[in-house]
Chains A and B, each alone.
Chain A
Amino acid sequence: MTPTEAAAAAPAADFWGQLFVFVLASFIGLGVIRRVSRLLHTPLMSITNAISAIAIVGSIIVTGADYPPVIRLLGGVALFASMTNIVSGFLITDRMLKMFKTDTKPRDGGRP
């Protein structure tokens, strides 16, 4: 069968290398995230969300390469979805984190 030969010749998708990276990254993730303050679990979720929108790099290639327009359109929608997550994810994380203070002066009125 030719596909096998062709696969060997195709730009090597290093399966074992990728799996290696995945397993190690998962261990790092478990180690780092276990130590995240429980106070910050909501911001944690929004920042990991923004970070996983790194899928944007895949979308950029699919949208910008010289591919058929339909393919590029799919990429463009994915690019839009990822960018939305990046922008809203980082902004709202920062907005929430700004609110966590150790010492606050008492106010005598309601919120403006």
Chain B
Amino acid sequence: MSYGFVQLSYIVATALFVFALHWMNTPATARRGVFAGVAGMTLAVLATWAEPVVVHHGWIIVALLAGVVVGVPLSRVPLTAVPQRTALSHAFGGLAAGLVGTAKYYLWLGEGPENLTAFRMVAIIVEIILGFLTFTGSLMAAGKLQEVKWIPQRPVTYPLQNVTNLALLAIAAVTGAALVVNPTAAWAPAVFPVIIVLALLFGVLLIIPIGGADMPTVIAILNAYAGLSAVAMGFVLDNKLLITAGALDGSSGLILAVIMCKAMNRSFANVLFGAFGQVQQAKASTEDKVYKAESIEGAGQVLEQSNLVVVIPGYGMAVAQAQHKVRELYDQLKKRGIAVKFAIHPVAGRMPGHMNVLLAEADIPYTDLVEMDEINPDMPQVDVALVVGANDVVNPAARSEKSSPIYGMPIIDADKARTVFAIKRSKNPGFAGIDNALYFSDKTWMLFGDAKNVIGELVKQLSGGSGLH
């Protein structure tokens, strides 16, 4: 297969990838994007496989089949587990980049030291540092999201944590620089693995101090790293398709991370080095306030008499697997001619867009899913705001209390609705450990219990008179 043919296929594949992302701009065309992506990928793989330099086929076939065997079940996980799967795939992406970088270095060291130019060496070092830190960092993130027992869920902090982490990274960078200058020195092959180990360690230490509420940002940042490690691989292999596809992935991760940070009113540095969990422990003590509990019957009656209901879902809805019950409630209200909207906060859940996917899975039309910025002006006209497993994203302290750790974070103005029902599992504070003034507001009524059960009871209450069941 000629060089020109391969390059041509790569150009077509690049165009298909750009179209794939372009078609994601609306759900109506998004599935076309998947087909474009698959087509581009298939073309690129076949063109590469047909290159004359590829002479052994056995291992390729085995690895491809193994990838299918592992990949298919990974695509069938429940949608509540999508954040973990995503983190895991960033880990695989980082691993692939790290391994190819390592392979190329030792290959050229043995068979063509003249290839180890300063530029290539910089690219290789960047590739392995980014690749391996993304590998362990994403594994840690996946473990935290999956709530694996031996990985602490709460942020782990210790004195001089940031200094230690940055020192590690600095040592890796300096060692890398030494290799760039002397890529073929006698000590070089022994020092190369040191960088790998440092990067692996740095990835673990980077994620240890990060708590669950920060996961959407962290996943987006790891996404950007995985993309950039692919770019570095493209520089190493002189492959423009890799550079382009990696840049697309990297910019996607960057944009998502920026959106997540804005939605929390925090900076990158603050998420990565801020150890959010620390601040709140000092804050959790406030004077005793009283919740007003409401019965299912009472809540049902108020819901029946409203014209506009806004449901505000949070991670708690995913944990309780309540989205299908929410859909039944949606149907019951719709049947009575009541308008129902869902107010989605950008950081609700454990990854960008998490709530939208869960609600779409429950067959709720995406036209009823409304962004925070669009719903907030309408909140004063809302009869009932139903908070399902959300906490910090509806906490009015973010608007008013300068001392609050979440001060300045944009929130959904649930407190402006005429009545608020908040479903809460227990009387303990939420994930961030911050008291929520919304729960003590005059117009707020608490529905205590598991979100799935509470909404199930509400549905029963509402359907009781209609004779449908």
Interface residues in chain A, defined as those with a beta carbon under 8 Å from any beta carbon in chain B = 2-3, 6-7, 9-11, 13-15, 17-18, 21-22, 25-26, 28-30, 32-68, 70-104, 106-108, 110-111
Q: Which residues of B lie under 8 Å from residue A36 when comparing CB positions? A: 21, 24-25
Chain A CB within 8 A of B239 CB: yes
B63 contacts A80, C-beta separation under 8 Å: yes
Q: Which residues of B lie under 8 Å from residue A2 when comparing CB positions? A: 114
Q: Which residues of A lie under 8 Å from residue B388 when comparing CB positions? A: none
In the complex, what's the smallest C-beta–C-beta distance from A61 to chain B, in angstroms? Answer: 6
Q: Which residues of A lie under 8 Å from residue B365 when comparing CB positions? A: 101-104
A10 contacts B45, C-beta separation under 8 Å: no
Most buried by B among A55, A73, A90, A107: A55
B351 contacts A42, C-beta separation under 8 Å: yes
Closest to B10 in A: A57
Most buried by B among A11, A95, A98: A95
- Identify B353's interface contact among A18, A42, A49, CB under 8 A: A42
In the assembled complex, the Cα of A111 lies from the Cα of B362 at a distance in Å of: 8
A83 contacts B67, C-beta separation under 8 Å: yes
In the assembled complex, the Cα of A98 lies from the Cα of B32 at a distance in Å of: 11
A99 contacts B248, C-beta separation under 8 Å: no
A26 contacts B107, C-beta separation under 8 Å: no
Top 7 nearest A-B pairs by Cβ distance?
A: A83-B67, A87-B71, A41-B353, A29-B251, A6-B114, A64-B54, A52-B249
Chain A CB within 8 A of B364 CB: yes
Q: Which of B95-118 contact A (CB under 8 A)?
A: 95-97, 99-100, 102-104, 106-107, 110-117
15 further interface pairs, Cβ-Cβ under 8 Å (given A13-B119, A55-B100): A10-B115, A14-B238, A33-B252, A41-B353, A45-B220, A49-B223, A51-B37, A52-B245, A52-B246, A53-B93, A61-B51, A66-B55, A78-B100, A83-B71, A84-B67
In the complex, what's the smallest C-beta–C-beta distance from B383 to chain A, in angstroms? Answer: 21
A28 contacts B54, C-beta separation under 8 Å: no
In the assembled complex, the Cα of A13 lies from the Cα of B243 at a distance in Å of: 13
In the complex, what's the smallest C-beta–C-beta distance from B183 to chain A, in angstroms? Answer: 8
A92 contacts B233, C-beta separation under 8 Å: no
Segment among B79-87, B264-272, B303-311, B430-438 that sits at the interface with chain A? B79-87
B75 contacts A58, C-beta separation under 8 Å: no
A48 contacts B352, C-beta separation under 8 Å: no
In the complex, what's the smallest C-beta–C-beta distance from B94 to chain A, in angstroms? Answer: 9
Chain A CB within 8 A of B285 CB: no
A21 contacts B243, C-beta separation under 8 Å: yes
In the assembled complex, the Cα of A76 lies from the Cα of B113 at a distance in Å of: 23
In the assembled complex, the Cα of A22 lies from the Cα of B238 at a distance in Å of: 12
Chain A CB within 8 A of B208 CB: no
Closest to B327 in A: A107
In the assembled complex, the Cα of A2 lies from the Cα of B106 at a distance in Å of: 20
Segment among B152-160, B224-232, B287-295 that sits at the interface with chain A? B224-232
A22 contacts B247, C-beta separation under 8 Å: yes
Q: Which residues of A lie under 8 Å from residue B57 when comparing CB positions? A: 64
Chain A CB within 8 A of B41 CB: yes
Q: Which of B352-398 contact A (CB under 8 A)?
A: 352-354, 356-357, 360-367, 369, 371
Q: A26-B250, A52-B246 are in contact. Are A61 and B54 (CB under 8 A)?
A: yes
B245 contacts A54, C-beta separation under 8 Å: yes
A87 contacts B252, C-beta separation under 8 Å: no
Chain A CB within 8 A of B34 CB: yes
Q: Which residues of A lie under 8 Å from residue B367 when comparing CB positions? A: 102-103
In the assembled complex, the Cα of A93 lies from the Cα of B291 at a distance in Å of: 42
In the assembled complex, the Cα of A87 lies from the Cα of B41 at a distance in Å of: 11
In the assembled complex, the Cα of A17 lies from the Cα of B67 at a distance in Å of: 33
A111 contacts B324, C-beta separation under 8 Å: yes
Segment among B164-172, B328-336, B410-418, B442-450 that sits at the interface with chain A? B328-336
Q: A3-B113, A18-B234 are in contact. Are A71 and B107 (CB under 8 A)?
A: yes
- Identify B20's interface contact among A51, A80, A83, CB under 8 A: A51
Q: Which of B181-204 contact A (CB under 8 A)?
A: 184
In the assembled complex, the Cα of A40 lies from the Cα of B44 at a distance in Å of: 26
In the assembled complex, the Cα of A70 lies from the Cα of B177 at a distance in Å of: 26
Q: A3-B113, A42-B352 are in contact. Are A53 and B96 (CB under 8 A)?
A: yes
In the assembled complex, the Cα of A48 lies from the Cα of B26 at a distance in Å of: 16
Chain A CB within 8 A of B464 CB: no
B247 contacts A29, C-beta separation under 8 Å: yes
In the complex, what's the smallest C-beta–C-beta distance from B315 to chain A, in angstroms? Answer: 14
Q: Which residues of A lie under 8 Å from residue B420 when comparing CB positions? A: none
Q: Which residues of A lie under 8 Å from residue B282 when comparing CB positions? A: none
A67 contacts B107, C-beta separation under 8 Å: yes
Most buried by A among B72, B237, B248: B248
Q: Which residues of A lie under 8 Å from residue B227 when comparing CB positions? A: 48, 52
Chain A CB within 8 A of B66 CB: yes
Q: A42-B357, A48-B21 are in contact. Are A15 and B249 (CB under 8 A)?
A: no
A62 contacts B246, C-beta separation under 8 Å: no
A110 contacts B328, C-beta separation under 8 Å: yes
